[in-house]
Amino acid sequence: KGIWMARCVGVEPCTVVMDLEGTDGRERGEDDTAFEKQSSLFALAISDIVLINMWCHDIGREQAANKPLLKTVFQVMMRLFSPRKTTLLFVIRDKTRTPLEHLEPVLREDIQKIWNSVPKPEAHKDTPLSEFFNVEVTALPSFEEKEEQFREQVQQLRQRFANSIAPGGLAGDRRGVVPASGFLFSSQQIWKIIRENKDLDLPAHKVMVATVRCDEIANERFGCLTSDAEWLDLENDVQAGSVLGFGKKLGSIVEVHMEEYDKEAVYFDEAVRKAKRQLLESRILNLVQPAFQKNLSHLRTKALEKFKTGLDQSLESGKGFAASVRETTESSLSEFNQGCA
């Protein structure tokens, strides 16, 4: 009863499988279709591949058991504002002696008829099935009658899920996916929207997830910087006097944390990612500004003292005033600039 989820063992990249109640299952009785529609929409919203079992003897029949499910799948797909292309993998169960190449065209014709019969909004009135789905068909023998052959073919089917997101792999359109670090939050929010019976705007949802996760990542990186031992040592050292190479040391510390942000946020919405990066940079600049100003103050004091001492010595040596000022100024500013590096 409900939706069960688990990580596939031995399948790379990391693949999570969901098991949904079937339309002919006994879990909820005959009349409860609300959860069926909700779970179907949930699966379509978060899955790359939707695997649908179909009994071989139902192919070509008007009253096939899975036709209501297909209608539901197609109907709820219309509730996704900008659906990404999903792979529908039909698994023909208890295959008879009829060759798959004869069964597949009939099944595809059935699927097309259902698609044509589903009411569509004006925007998708003439949209072909292929715009929404990649349709794949495979078959399995009866487990009861041919268990060994069944297990062999299940293993072959399992292999198709390996490297599924590679070009030409089983997974469909990967442009709309949420990175793994945002999957939990994204799934929770999608289910909440579906349970409240609201239309699911996936592009807006993608931006919302990116906003929340990039905020979290930025806060984590900022927190790591504030407790960074190198930064704390640098901040402490500059209180006592100017630090040689302060700018390079500080730049190196900040760069490490910015690179970590980039690494964790790279797969989220680009506009959101960049905006949150700029905010993180601003927060970091505000954090390091006092130490930077303190170092400048030390350098300025040293440069001024050097100028005064150098000017006195130059004048005492008999050099002209203008030449003494020019040379001493250049020397003092050069030392100041080196200290700022």
Helix (H, G, I), strand (E, B) or coil at 252: helix
Give yes or no for a contact between 128 and 77, defined as CB atoms under 8 angstroms apart: no
Residue 56 CB partners (closer than 8 Å, separation 6+): 92, 93, 94, 95, 96, 98, 103, 139
Q: How confident is the model at residue 22 (pLDDT cuts 50, 70, 90)?
A: low
In tens, the pLDDT along 191-207 reads 888 777 666 566 677 78
Q: What percent of the chain has pLDDT over 90?
A: 22
Mean pLDDT estimate for the chain = 82
Quote the pLDDT of residue 30.
46
Quote the pLDDT of residue 220.
93
Q: Which residue has better confidence, 224 or 191?
A: 224
Q: Which residue has better confidence, 1 or 189?
A: 189
Q: What percent of the chain has pLDDT over 70?
A: 86
Quote the pLDDT of residue 31.
46
Alpha carbon distance 132, 149 (integer Å): 33
176-190, 200-214, 293-307: least confidently modelled range? 200-214
When the candidates are 3.40.640.10, 1.10.10.10, 3.10.20.30, 3.40.50.300, the CATH number that belongs to 4-177 is 3.40.50.300
Query: In Å, how far from its chain's centre is CA 179?
Result: 2
Residue 178 has pLDDT above 90, yes or no: no
Helix (H, G, I), strand (E, B) or coil at 203: helix
Domain segments of the chain: what residues? 4-177, 206-340
Query: In Å, how far from its chain's centre is CA 14?
Result: 14
Angle between helix axes 202-226 and 246-265 (nearest 10 degrees) is 150
Quote the pLDDT of residue 202.
62
Q: How confident is the model at residue 11 (pLDDT cuts 50, 70, 90)?
A: confident
Alpha carbon distance 4, 9 (integer Å): 16
Alpha carbon distance 155, 160 (integer Å): 9
Residue 190 has pLDDT above 60, yes or no: yes
